[in-house]
């Protein structure tokens, strides 16, 4: 049974690892068959509900796909990632909602050196956790972005 201190520790650790670009350790927080999803908005009140059939901002099924995205972001071969943004996540309002699920609010403060611009992304996280080999892992993370506009790419490490 998941408790609040355990959920809080994992969620805040994930944010810190992203901010410090310790992406190998960040990937280790996820199960092999994880889902990392940021649905798009259909209208003012409804997000897409089927990532296989509807538009998503981000959708990675399986940790190997997250690993591929990390590789592309750090390889120096991606024009979109040639100068990575600096990011600081703030995670609040963490609530355990079931034996293996939690929700949280987030705000990411982003500075893009290439464009000399600051911006914020904000929204909610919904997590599903699984215990593997005695360790709590993220089985699914859904990011509901509340911004009306995304002026440029919103990559995995920004949300």
Q: Which domain holds residue 82?
A: 4-145
Q: Which residue has the tokens 């929700």?
A: 103
pLDDT per residue over 43-62, tens digit each?
Answer: 999 999 999 999 999 999 99
77 in a domain, yes or no?
Answer: yes
d(CA 12, CA 105): 11
> Is the distance from CB of 106 to CB of 123 less than 8 angstroms?
yes
153 in a domain, yes or no?
Answer: no
134 versus 52: which is more confidently predicted?
Answer: 52
d(CA 57, CA 2): 29
151 in a domain, yes or no?
Answer: no
Q: What are phi and psi of 30, to 5 degrees?
A: -100, 145
Kindly report the pTM of this predicted structure: 0.93
Q: Please report the pLDDT score of residue 83 as a whole number.
A: 82
Q: Which residue has the tokens 């997000």?
A: 47
Q: Which residue has the tokens 């990575």?
A: 84
End-to-end CA distance of the chain: 27
Number of domains in the chain: 1
104 in a domain, yes or no?
Answer: yes
128 in a domain, yes or no?
Answer: yes
129 in a domain, yes or no?
Answer: yes
72 in a domain, yes or no?
Answer: yes
Q: Please report the pLDDT score of residue 99 as a whole number.
A: 94
74 in a domain, yes or no?
Answer: yes
Report the CATH number that the domain containing residue 132 is assigned in CATH: 3.10.450.50
> Is the distance from CB of 86 to CB of 110 less than 8 angstroms?
yes
């Amino acid at each position: 049974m998941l408790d609040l201190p355990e959920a809080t520790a994992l969620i805040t650790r994930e944010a810190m690892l992203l901010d410090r670009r310790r992406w190998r350790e960040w990937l280790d927080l996820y199960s092999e068959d994880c889902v990392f999803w940021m649905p798009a908005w259909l209208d003012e009140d409804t997000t897409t509900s089927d990532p296989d059939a509807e538009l998503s901002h981000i959708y990675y099924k399986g940790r190997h796909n997250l690993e591929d995205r990390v590789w592309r972001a750090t390889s120096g071969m991606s024009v979109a990632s040639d100068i990575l943004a600096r990011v600081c996540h703030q995670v609040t309002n963490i609530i355990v909602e079931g034996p293996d699920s939690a929700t949280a609010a987030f705000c990411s403060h982003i500075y893009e050196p290439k464009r000399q611009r600051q911006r914020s992304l904000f929204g909610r996280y919904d997590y599903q956790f699984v215990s593997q080999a005695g360790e709590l892992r993220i089985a699914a993370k859904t990011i509901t972005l509340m911004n009306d506009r995304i002026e440029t790419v919103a990559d995995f490490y920004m949300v």
